[in-house]
Amino acid sequence: ARRRARAMALSRAERCLALLLRLLSRACLALLGLVAPAPSRAVPASPRAVPPPRRLLLLLPARQLAARLRARQVTCIEVVEAYVERIKEVNPLINAVVKDRFEEALQEARQVDKLLSEGPGDDYLEEKFPLLGVPITVKEAFSLHGMPNTSGLVNRRNVIATSDATVVSRLKQAGAIPLGVTNCSELCMWYESSNRVYGRTNNPYDLQRIVGGSSGGEGSALAAACSVIGVGSDIGGSIRMPAFFNGVFGHKPTTGVVPNDGQFPNARGVRTSFLCTGPMCRYAEDLEPMLRVMAGPGVNKLKLNEKVSLEKIKFHCMDHDGGSIFVSPVDKEILQAQKKVVEHLEGELGVQVQRVAIHKMKYSFQIWSAMMSSKDGDGQEAQLFTDLLGDHGKPVWPLWELMKWLVGMSSHTLPAIGKAGGLMKLNPGGNAKLVSMGKSLQEEMEALLGPDGVLLYPSHPTIAPRHHSPICMPFNFAYTAIFNVLGLPVTQCPLGLSSEGLPLGIQLVAASYNDHLTLAVARYLEEAFGGWVLPGKV
């Protein structure tokens, strides 16, 4: 009885806290109308969406593009020039590519054409350079030689990368040609990509909508056909939310498969087990070859060479988290899209999709928050966000920074100030219990999914909201974040557009090291539901 009373008291306290946070969020949203927004190079929302690409070269998956280049059916200069032209056309609308390297990319394209003219065999080229001549973009948080590496922090605006991040180096060695770096949220810890260095990135399907974060510039660039594959990172959904909001594919690999070296901020302590670097692609068929390159020797931990029989997969479906008080209800159109997937799988594959209700998922945000702030096995604590905000500058005092923000004098965004002030830590006293719950949930998930299971789960509770709206629903990222602390591989798969013309999607989750299952299902669903849809198409 006492235990029940304590639980009820905690539940009431959490409800009161959630209500208070929502009221504060709405007050902050109202203030945003009074305080000058982050500077943006993006133009007002007219037209509503970016125009669709006109060049057929822009509509080819990376694998097909590389094959055409190897077959000498098109020159690399033609390909790179087409993408450069596209970026120049639409980037003023979306502000996704924040620094380009067009001259260097064109020079590298000439080198590719020279290599191809020398006549090496196709098999040799495909094995040694699987992405030869394919244009890519890279999240600005990753080091790309000669490019800025600020992660949206004003104090780092003069930081220029002098080397390449490990995954960037591997992609270059595979023949890919970086076109530039893309926008992210300040210090990669918010799900709207806006900062005081580069401004705000807009959604290609509706310029008044968010692109997600923190890899939002990547999602926007891919959806707008400014690149075909890109590099993202994910500690709470930073690959999958932008992929969802922008209608493209994003894969968070199993923990520890792809190296995180060469990005800022990098994880330390227990967070090294939660941060994942992974591929973002316009087409599902490009996820696996890109993952192979990015993982390097780590790919041997996976089973990508195993043939997947979709009919033998044990599918599970969960419509929502069980009703967390901190998170918005799942949008009806998202639920309808997920229902169509279930009906299609049962009707076409003849499988039985098992509906599940995992009680602990209701506490996804609390579990993620507790595990993110816990100590690792050596007793090392996670780095304080205030320390990161002070990188290359003076220490940051959140309350003072908030006062400066209210009069338009802060160099930080409101979400970053809120996080520095402890917004994400709701119940520090109960962290040990929540960490224990997280470990128990991990065991439950691994047992449920086993060697042949895939879980269907919403990518986010709402379709891409309007700019600044995440302030009113700050914990909605819990739908993706929970899988970071569980260490499971997840693929975000687009499922067409909503009645408002905005992307829909679904998360595909498997047990650790079963990335091949989610990738195979993503390829199947792309064929069934159409995958990426051209923005601006009437």
Which residues are catalytically annotated?
139, 214, 238
- Contact yes or no for 87/97 (Cβ under 8 A): yes
Alpha-carbon distance of 489 to 316, in angstroms, equals: 15
Tokens of residue 58, six digits: 């822009």
User: What residues does 231 pair with on adjacent strands?
Assistant: 138, 279
Cβ neighbours of 261 (radius 10 Å): 13
- Per the listing, tokens 């997920």 go with 338
Alpha-carbon distance of 330 to 100, in angstroms, equals: 38
Tokens of residue 265, six digits: 């901020």
Tokens of residue 297, six digits: 């020797």
Of 523, 479, 499, 491, the closest CA to residue 318 belongs to: 479
Whether the ω angle into residue 265 lies within 30 degrees of 0, i.e. cis, is yes
Strand arrangement of the beta sheet that strand 503-509 belongs to: 97-100, 177-182, 135-139, 229-234, 276-281, 249-252, 490-497, 503-509, 453-457, 314-317, 354-355
- Per the listing, tokens 């075909």 go with 228
Would strands 453-457 and 314-317 be described as parallel, antiparallel, or unpaired?
A: parallel
Q: Which residues are CB-contacts of 379 (< 8 A; sequence separation ≥ 6)? A: none
Burial code of 406-418, b = ≥16 C-beta within 10 A, e = fewer?
eeeebbbbbbbbb
Cβ neighbours of 97 (radius 10 Å): 29
| Chain centroid, CA 147 distance in Å | 21
Alpha-carbon distance of 523 to 96, in angstroms, equals: 26
Tokens of residue 107, six digits: 């020079």
Q: Which residues are CB-contacts of 54 (< 8 A; sequence separation ≥ 6)? A: none
Which residue intervals of 391-493 are DSSP H helices?
398-406, 414-420, 431-449, 478-486
DSSP element (H, E) containing 332 = helix 332-344
Per DSSP, the three-state class of 420 is helix
Alpha-carbon distance of 141 to 143, in angstroms, equals: 7
What is the Rg, in whole angstroms, of the alpha carbon atoms belonging to the chain? Answer: 22
